[in-house]
Structure 1
Amino acid sequence: MFWLFCAFLTLAVGTAIAAPLLRRAATDAQDSAAAFDLQVYRDQLREVDRDLERDIISLDEAQRLKTEIGRKVLDADRRMETDATRRRTGNALAALTMLGLLLAGTFALYLREGQPGSPDLPIARRIALAERAYDSRPDQAAAEAAAPAVPTPEVDEDYATLVQDLRDAVAARPDDPQGLTLLATSEARLGNMTAAREAQQKLVDHLGDKVSAGQLLQLAALMTEAAGGLITPDAEEVLARALQKDPRLPQGRYMLGLLQLQNGRPDRAFPVWRRLLEEGPPDAPWNQPIQASIRDLAWLAGQPDYVPPEAAPALPGPDGDQMQAAEDMSPQDRQQMIEGMVARLEGRLAEQGGTPQEWARLIGSLAVLGQTDRARAIYAEAQSRFGDAPEAIAPINTAAEQAGLIQ
């Protein structure tokens, strides 16, 4: 069936290429020199008839002229037909050459990018292969060993010293929840994803049944990052625990959809991401990656007519010129610029209000700047504003957990 469709498509393309070339041959034939001569001879025949009517020439002379011009007409007609045949032949050869090059290029591209020997897979077979891929995932240790190395970002020496002091403090007090939380966050910012995952794992183990859904989700996210983006069976188990504590956890539902995508089940990923996209606020941070792929995902899930809700504008932040300027600054100047941007965001939220995501951004930014007390005050104010709306307070709580403000 596939090759029959290809043959039909090739024939249609070949016809579309050849038809205008053949029509051009007929037009060229009409514009040839022989066609011009033929028109001249026909005019001469009409001129002979007019001269005969006006008695300028005799009947015998008229017959002689018509016979001579008639022979020229026949000769011009033969030459015009020969030119047309030659042009049709040349254009047909050009069309066949172009078609041959097109077919050869298409076939070469298919051999490179396609899978000529692969049979058509019925849906049951596809599901079976997806289940096999799901069952054969590597565990966390194997995935971390195979993950590509993460580039180490450049950090200020003072910050690196603070992180090392934090490591020493956590080693001296391994059961301090706040120290473990800060260490996991700091290691992640340095690109030490395995160390961050280990710190978060110690925090989860220490808290036991008191661990929150956000802390479990953070562990699942760090495990995924340390595994090179793969959600391993170990990370999936932690994710399931987080969703068991809070089934509406947006980031957890996003990871659940991603898990289904990684294992070849767009039919399962689509309803998860669709509900997340339609239920959550339009400016939720997880909406951007979902919006980028939801149409393709809907098509793969058998719902090609799905129309996603309109995406919200991006959260305010530095533009390209500001980012380029920040790269050329000294660490002190860069710090001042960041502090200025955070101060402007804080002032705008105080005067005009903003979305939950902007409040979460402010809390996280203040924590990064080391202004923990100010971040705690902003978190308290955000709770008073959004505490009655669980979906709105969720990203704020997550930011507070990641900043170490709540356990």
Structure 2
Amino acid sequence: MVLTNTMLTFWIIAALMILLALWFILPALLQKSTENEEVELREANVLVYRDQNRELDADLKNGLIGEEQYQQEKAELERRLLEDVAASPDASSSGAKRGNAFAYSVALVVPLGAIVFYLIVGNPHGLNPATAPATTAASAADQPGQMSQGSMSPQQIAANIDKLADRLKQNPNDAQGWTMLARSYMMQERFSDAASAYEKLTTLNANDADAWADYAEALALANGQNLAGKPSEAINRALQINPKHQKALDLSGSAAYQAGDYKKAIEQWQTLLKLLPPGSDELKTVTDQISRTKALAASKGSR
């Protein structure tokens, strides 16, 4: 593998970052003073000796042991204490060596582990500008559900949509898949195909107001934006499920407007108006629609 400037820069920065991490880690691991360990060990031994000595005194006082046994046990305690204290430097030295060995192991494992982890999880080919685009495109082609149009050609997008459609033939009860397929068809302005996908979705999720409203929109667009007939039926079904569904209310007003029922159109849009955020573009658009419809109704003598 030929190292490009980008790759070389990356590995240099990575090495510096690893060295910086070790600079923080190693001193803390190596900074275990032998003298401190000796003091701690002596203190621990003395505490144990004191406890055992108090127990001996209590046993003697309570008559559990005789004077001769008391003196023997006490002498044994003193002897063991001296042996432990005398052996503490060796133990501390051994502990320090083990601590150093652990620190050096960390110094070796951290960079090696980081490199291995990157090679497994990361994308080394992405460091090479010559191979990065091909790798990205290949990965995207393997993911039918992830259709990033910014980095894919129209042919690749169409191929992914076809893959998704084929997958749904094998798994026709995948509601999420049908939603994705229908929206993809809408983006490609394949409105008849989108309507078919939404129709399948409404059979799977019969109480999904979103599905019915989207189905109505796709049907209308496939039929020259005509909302009469099946689109209106789908709109009414969406409003039965959710009377405050914004898209369904908007489409219902448009359907009434197309049918010349300006009163109903105004009523539906006024209901929608109450649901829109103040100052939003949608609110301004609907307000304009209501104003124009009122003017049209007045000119035709309708209320």
Determine which structure has more spread, i.e. the larger CA radius of gyration. Answer: 2
> What's the TM-score once normalised by structure 2's chain length?
0.45
Higher relative contact order (CA 8 A, sep 6+): 1
> What's the TM-score once normalised by structure 1's chain length?
0.34
